[in-house]
């Protein structure tokens, strides 16, 4: 590094350090502020950790079913197609079907989509891990991708539970931090665990998928708790 660049480098590092401290302080304040904030952040942490099991989705079918790379890539493309279809039809389903049946409440629609998507993730990951055939594996992937709208629906729902812009901004900052932290931990953990248990027997080799499903079940429990908080808020407002 050039000597002339020294002051610029330290200025950048000082700025980053200041912003990092501010972010951590804001996150601490948010965790201490309410049970809603704590539950929300814990939900996103569990979701990020559980859903990042997808880092082994490339290796798993190759090892289990002997698929070549082209076949694995075809499944990845198939996942993208499902996600695109859901992206196109979910708004219509939400407004034309779910909203009228749920009393016209956008919040209730978001909660329903969140719960459905979370359950789809749990069931899907178990189907993927324990699928006996290639066809059943594809079914498992399909069920898994039906939970594509989980993150957006969950964000929308918890945003509706907050009352002012400052709380929303702090919450989104905290969500971003726990998602980053969760992704870093989960990527290394799932890859390492998969490498350890690979070829160690039927059940043991599927341990990552069972662990992921348990984490996602914990996420489901947190979502139900958030739903209870929303119900109490609605009753209090009413």
**What is the DSSP secondary structure assignment for residue 52, as one 8-state letter?**
G
Comparison of pLDDT for 233 and 103, the residue scoring more:
103
Of all residues in the chain, the percent with pLDDT exceeding 90 is 32
Residue 11 — very low, low, confident or very high, per pLDDT cuts 50/70/90?
Answer: low
Residue 22 — very low, low, confident or very high, per pLDDT cuts 50/70/90?
Answer: low
Q: What is the mean pLDDT of the chain?
A: 84
Residue 2 — very low, low, confident or very high, per pLDDT cuts 50/70/90?
Answer: very low
- The C-alpha atoms of residue 46 and residue 39 are separated, in whole angstroms, by 10
Q: Is the model's pLDDT at 73 over the cut of 80?
A: yes
Task: Give me the pLDDT at residue 30, please.
Answer: 61
Task: Give pLDDT tens digits for 107-148.
Answer: 899 999 999 999 999 999 999 999 999 899 999 999 999 998
Per-residue b or e along 61-88, where b marks 16 or more CB atoms closer than 10 Å to that residue's CB = beebeebeeeebeebeeebeeeeeebee
Judge whether 194 and 56 are in contact, CB under 8 Å.
yes
- To 10 degrees, what angle do helices 35-51 and 106-130 make? 30
Task: Give me the pLDDT at residue 3, please.
Answer: 46
Q: Is the model's pLDDT at 238 over the cut of 70?
A: no
Look at 1-15, 39-53, 87-101 and tell me which has the smallest mean pLDDT: 1-15
- The C-alpha atoms of residue 222 and residue 229 are separated, in whole angstroms, by 11
- The C-alpha atoms of residue 29 and residue 133 are separated, in whole angstroms, by 49
Q: Is the model's pLDDT at 14 over the cut of 80?
A: no
Of all residues in the chain, the percent with pLDDT exceeding 70 is 84
Mean pLDDT of 214-238: 83
Comparison of pLDDT for 197 and 3, the residue scoring more:
197
Q: Is the model's pLDDT at 105 over the cut of 90?
A: no
Q: Is the model's pLDDT at 84 over the cut of 70?
A: yes
Residue 235 — very low, low, confident or very high, per pLDDT cuts 50/70/90?
Answer: low
> Distance from CA of residue 120 to its chain's centroid?
12
pTM of the prediction? 0.83
**What is the DSSP secondary structure assignment for residue 21, as one 8-state letter?**
H
């Amino acid at each position: 590094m050039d000597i002339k660049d020294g002051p610029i480098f330290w200025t950048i590092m000082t700025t980053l350090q200041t912003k990092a401290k501010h972010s951590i302080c804001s996150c601490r304040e948010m965790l201490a502020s309410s049970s809603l904030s704590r539950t929300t952040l814990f939900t996103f942490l569990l979701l990020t950790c559980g859903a990042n099991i997808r880092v082994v989705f490339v290796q798993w079918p190759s090892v289990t079913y002997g698929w070549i790379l082209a076949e694995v890539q075809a499944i990845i493309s198939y996942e993208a197609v499902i996600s695109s279809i859901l992206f196109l039809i979910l708004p219509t389903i939400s407004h034309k079907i779910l909203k009228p049946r749920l009393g016209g409440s956008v919040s209730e629609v978001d909660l329903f989509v969140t719960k459905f998507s979370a359950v789809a993730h749990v069931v899907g990951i178990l189907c993927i891990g324990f699928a006996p055939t290639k066809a059943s594996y594809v079914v498992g992937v399909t069920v898994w991708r039906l939970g594509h709208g989980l993150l957006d629906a969950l964000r929308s729902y918890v945003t509706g539970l907050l009352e002012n812009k400052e709380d929303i901004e702090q919450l989104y900052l905290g969500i971003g931090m726990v998602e980053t932290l969760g992704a870093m931990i989960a990527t290394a953990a799932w890859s390492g665990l998969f490498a350890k248990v690979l070829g160690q027997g039927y059940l043991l080799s599927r341990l990552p998928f069972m662990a992921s499903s348990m984490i996602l079940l914990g996420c489901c429990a947190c979502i139900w708790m958030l739903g209870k908080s929303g119900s109490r808020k609605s009753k209090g407002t009413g």
